[in-house]
Amino acid sequence: MNDAPVPAAPDTGPRRPGDAALTALGLGPAPLSPADASPHSFPDGGAWRTEVPSVEGPEALGVVLEESDRLGVPVHRVSQGSGVWMLTDAEITEMVAVCTERDVELCLFTGPRGTWDTGASVRTDSGGAGLRSRGHDALAGCVEDALRATGLGVRCLLVADEGVLWTLHRLREEGRLPADTTFKVSALIGPVNPASYAVFERLGADSVNIPSDLTLAQFTEIRRVSRAPMDLYIEAPDDLGGYVRMYEVAELIRRGAPLYLKFGLSKAPGIYPYGRHMRDAALATARERVRRGRLALDLLARHGADGGMSPLGSRLPGPLNRFDTSS
């Protein structure tokens, strides 16, 4: 009897969808190039983390965490879209406490923003300046939101304006905001080329939500100039195009690491700014976002690409390139 160990099969990496069947028909997949793979990772060594967006208050947060437990969906970060100013101190404090207990990062949006302002240009065909903060008072409102939220224990803030980002980063550098505060750039002003992505990093961004319609090659182009974490809707809301890219998840991670997989939802009503009049929709869509996460993770597992997730509880991006704030 031969007790010699059977040699392990060579590690060929993640399986691409339909590989074996297409190869048998002479339609084998296009080769993967090592040059296309991102050389970067999170400081914990992970390639990807997860995010559930549009978690608009304590009740929706409870639904997300309940579904996360039920479906076995790991959650690194939850984010809210209506803004700090749409939550009471008690609601923020409750969300901070729950997220701290579960080791989940809580990210709240800073406001005001142009789409809710009195300016007319945002309602024209061109869209004007979009979500950007119009005038000194809007900038000041975002700073006030940041100071209030961090004072209540929030350590991640969502921004939709380059000037707001730079201002908050300078406040962080001066110690007026906690040093471990992170800034996340909204998808609604997300960069679409390598140079602009690098600028957001230098302005203080700790993760940048790129538009969901960028090509795989464009992911690689960005990764040649920046290691700042990406946020990406694997399924985008309708106002961001409604794209569903679940079958690409493994390749998106390979190209875009370090990457936050955002479990969005198409064909869903808009809920910003959230109030209790939107309660049923907010809770139903929160629950379905977690289920969409389960579907994406199942695809990763079937393709042998579910390794490389950051440990739960990890949140910091590691060293990044910044503009000099002293001048």
Complete DSSP assignment for 17-78:
TTHHHHHHTT-PPPPPPGGGS-----TTS-SEEEEE----SHHHHHHHHHHHHHHT---SEE
Tokens 């969502």, located at residue: 158
Return the closest-CA partner of residue 92 out of 145, 46, 41.
Answer: 145
Tokens 């389960």, located at residue: 294
| Count of beta carbons in the 10 Å neighbourhood of residue 279 | 15
At residue 196, what are phi and psi to the nearest 5 degrees? Answer: -70, -35
Determine the Cα–Cα distance for residues 169 and 320; give it in Å rounded to an integer: 13
Given its phi and psi angles, is residue 7 left (phi above 0), alpha (psi -120 to 50 degrees) or beta?
Answer: beta
Beta-ladder partners of 268: none
Q: Which domains does the chain have, with CATH numbers?
A: 41-302 (3.20.20.70)
Tens-level pLDDT at each residue, the chain (327 residues): 445 444 443 445 677 888 888 888 887 777 889 999 999 999 999 999 999 999 999 999 999 999 999 999 999 999 999 999 999 999 999 999 999 999 999 999 998 775 666 665 666 565 555 566 667 888 999 999 999 999 999 999 999 999 999 999 999 999 999 999 999 999 988 899 999 999 999 999 999 999 999 999 999 999 999 999 999 999 999 888 888 999 999 999 999 999 999 999 999 988 888 889 989 999 999 999 999 999 999 999 998 999 999 999 999 999 999 999 987
Determine the Cα–Cα distance for residues 74 and 65; give it in Å rounded to an integer: 9
Return the closest-CA partner of residue 113 out of 53, 177, 173, 188.
Answer: 188
At residue 122, what are phi and psi to the nearest 5 degrees? Answer: -65, -20
pTM of the model: 0.90
